[in-house]
Copies of this chain bind each other. A is one copy, B any other.
Amino acid sequence: MSNEEPEVYEKTARSTVNRYRPRAKYDHETIHGIIDSSLVLHVSFNPTSIDEDPFPTILPMLGCTGSYTADGAEETSATAIYLHGHIASRFMKLPNSPSVHDQALPGVPVCVAATHVDGIILAITPFNHSCNYRSAVIHGYATLVEDPGEKMYALKLMTDNIVPERWDNSRVPPTEAEMKSTGVIRVDIVSASAKIRAAPPGSDKTDVADEETRKRVWTGSVPTHIKYGTPVPAGENVKAEVPNYITNWISEENSKGEIYSRKIVS
């Protein structure tokens, strides 16, 4: 499919980036990549249970993009974000709250954001200080996944999205009690955009022309990435060696993060 046009999300008033437009991206690959490589997602929604409370709220959650088909057929691109949590949590109860149905919406309107900070940018003046980052913001309707096949698909997807191959290398399938107490939410994506800054500092010409200030102010970038440390075995662990799928995942993540954060400022 490499000769096809890349799939993109339609620009809407909600999703169009207004500031620094060249930093904006709307293609599925970029947006899904930012979400799936993010260790945590921030999910925002308006609580319905607290009467007249004007505040939206944010929960940090784990999840990733996916696309389920009952017959196992492969889709060209993900169409949803899966999230999970305990069935008794406030968020998991939302899709069945009356106010959602009152409004005749196809689910709870939510926003999901993922952000990687790739470096600190130190320019001559604080005004030009910045960060390198990759951020994705998605809007969609959240519903509770009821289909047992889809629920199992999503749990495996989310587990392996954090550590590849972990599902098959753990005690599976989940017990009936485990499945019952785990809630899976699917956010059907309605609109989405990404914004990326990946560059060294930029300073104004007048500041660069000021030799005295330049002698005094160090300017440059400090790359940042998530460092995965040496694994620490649990008390109950009896395997003498950390398996290859774990050590490979750690070294790949570390080198990816280190190389990217440095490359964009060099």
Contact = CB atoms under 8 A, between A and B. Distances in A.
Contacts of A266: 232
Interface residues of A, number: 108
Interface stretch (A63-71, A143-151, A257-265): A257-265
Interface stretch (A1-9, A23-31, A72-80, A218-226): A218-226
A214 to B, nearest CB: 5
Contact of A171 (B112, B170, B213): B213
Given A122-B166, A208-B236, 14 more contacts: A44-B56, A117-B226, A170-B217, A200-B235, A201-B236, A214-B239, A218-B243, A219-B233, A219-B236, A220-B234, A222-B232, A225-B226, A225-B227, A229-B262
Interface of A: 13-14, 18-19, 39-40, 42, 44-47, 50, 53-60, 62, 86, 88-90, 103, 105, 109-113, 115, 117, 119-120, 122-127, 129, 131, 133, 135, 137, 139, 155-156, 159, 162-163, 166-167, 169-172, 174-175, 178, 182, 190, 200-201, 203, 207-208, 210-211, 213-239, 242-243, 246, 250, 257-258, 261-262, 265-266
For the complex of A and B, 9 pairs with smallest distance between CB atoms: A227-B227, A44-B44, A56-B56, A223-B229, A58-B113, A54-B109, A127-B178, A220-B233, A219-B234
Given A45-B56, A111-B58, A232-B220, A174 B19 contact: no
Nearest to A140: B55
Contacts of A39: 117, 120, 131, 224
A90 to B, nearest CB: 6
